[in-house]
A and B are shown apart, each in its own frame.
Chain A
Amino acid sequence: MHTRHAYCVCVDQNLSLKYGVLGLLAEEPLHGYEVKNRFEAMLGGTWEVNIGQIYTTLQRLERDGLVRPVGERGDRGKLQYELSESGRNAVETWLGEPDSGPQQLHEDIYVKLLLATRLVNGDLRPLLARQKRAYLQRLRDLNQLEDRARKDGRHDLARLVRGALLHTEADIKWIDELSERSIGGGTGTE
């Protein structure tokens, strides 16, 4: 089960990297390092990719006929890629589709809560209290990040941070709700 979970996650990650790369090439032809730099700048430092991942992605996209090299290798072996017609269609289709995958609960806290329910006889209050502090700190950090993004004129990034803020707010509401019910023992299956 663990392996399967890890596998699913990897597929997902490659998916958004794949379309991220395709989307950037839809603007203009780029070589590998330009793709990496633009991708990281677009994500405002919230996702760092290594150049190897970019090259692997570009090779797969080329194999699938979604991108093609432009001309010969330039100085220091740089090769530019451009989008093919089917690559352009793939980006447009992807942009038009809602993200309808399963809810991602990849944080430790979810597994911790399940295990703590079994291991500490249901008294989750200390765990919940510590978690709430961590979420409050995250909210503060996110608020600062949003302010910085706005100041830098990165309104696209501010929108992304706003999403993270609202998610964290929901996490806090969840913790509050669990705390208020000061959950008893049991796995909740009976």
Chain B
Amino acid sequence: MDRRAFRAEHWRGNGHGMTELVRLTDITKVYQGGVTGALNGVSLTVETGEFTAVMGPSGSGKSTLLNLIAGLDRPTSGNVSVGGTDLGRLSESGLARFRRDRIGFIFQFFHLLPNLTALENVLIPAQLRGRTAGDAAGRKLLSQLGIADIADRYPARLSGGQQQRVAIARALINQPALLLADEPTGALDTSSGEQVMALLAELHDEGQTIVLVTHDAKLATRHAARVISITDGRVVDDVRLETAERKAADVIRVRGEEMMR
């Protein structure tokens, strides 16, 4: 999609180095009264165009990490920079603008406003930006996500999979540099979950940078070529998987020679 190619150019032209989009430097996050979700010395970078999965048990800090990248929360110490912008230097309103213009976020439980239609939900971020683009862009996005027909329905009348697609459309309406997804299939049945993941994969193919938090290793490795593992607030592994297709016999042996050795 041209608009994404344009966006990638835009970021590259921003003078912040090669294709790095996110940089976390020595992040700690301490929560009062507990260690759940805390982070303890996390440093990593995410490149433009990457599809990264962040995995870890519940309470390991993986959602905290996502919230810090999104500017939804601030670290106790350390530095978060996205697209060359040091989030620590932004005021609260600056941070709100950053989230609105550059971050798309999808949640496990969709977080749609129940008293607005699907289309109205999708248009919220654009309206907050003061755009008059309006219906056409929103409807186009819904149609690209395969749910043009439900544009005028209220969330209560939609299936989980439909609600998540609406949430994805809402996340994309301002053409964010970075799409963050926190357990986006966690509340969906297997088949809807697979459809949502297939949509994310398509967006990635079109150039969208995505960071996905999940505890499902099958999903993580299906589309993301990079897997970061977090345990107890630390990055314990960060691997880029090989993506070349392999011969069936090199992947599975059904009682083959191997057992004869």
For residue A109, CB closer than 8 A to chain B, the reply is no
User: How many interface residues does B have (CB within 8 Å)?
Assistant: 32
Partner of A48, one of B245, B251, B256, B259: B256
How many Å lie between the Cα of A6 and that of B218 in the bound state? 32
For residue A30, CB closer than 8 A to chain B, the reply is no
How many Å lie between the Cα of A139 and that of B221 in the bound state? 6
Chain A residues lying within 8 Å of B241, measured Cβ to Cβ, are: 136-137, 140
Chain A residues lying within 8 Å of B254, measured Cβ to Cβ, are: 16, 43, 46-47, 160
Q: Give the total number of A-B pairs whose CB atoms are below 8 A apart.
A: 90
| Contact indicator per residue, chain A 86-117, by CB within 8 Å of chain B (1) or not (0) | 00000000000000000000100000000000
For residue B239, CB closer than 8 A to chain A, the reply is yes
| Contact indicator per residue, chain A 44-55, by CB within 8 Å of chain B (1) or not (0) | 111110000000
Q: How far is the CB of A169 from chain B (nearest CB, A)?
A: 6
A164 and B252 within 8 A (CB): yes
For residue B2, CB closer than 8 A to chain A, the reply is no
B255 and A172 within 8 A (CB): no
Tell me whether chain B's interface is mostly helix, strand or loop, or mixed: mixed
Q: How far is the CB of B257 from chain A (nearest CB, A)?
A: 8
B57 and A180 within 8 A (CB): yes
Partner of A143, one of B57, B222, B247, B255: B222
How many Å lie between the Cα of A70 and that of B11 in the bound state? 73
* Chain A interface residues toward B at CB < 8 A: 9-10, 12-13, 16-17, 43-48, 106, 129, 132-133, 135-145, 148, 160-161, 164-166, 169, 172, 176, 179-180
Chain A to chain B contacts (Cβ below 8 Å), 14 pairs? A10-B260, A45-B248, A46-B253, A46-B254, A47-B256, A48-B249, A106-B258, A132-B237, A139-B221, A140-B222, A140-B242, A141-B250, A143-B221, A176-B57
User: Which 6 residue pairs spanning A and B have beta carbons closest together?
Assistant: A45-B248, A139-B221, A140-B221, A47-B254, A143-B222, A46-B252
* Chain B interface residues toward A at CB < 8 A: 57, 217-218, 220-222, 225, 227, 229, 231, 236-237, 239, 241-243, 245-260
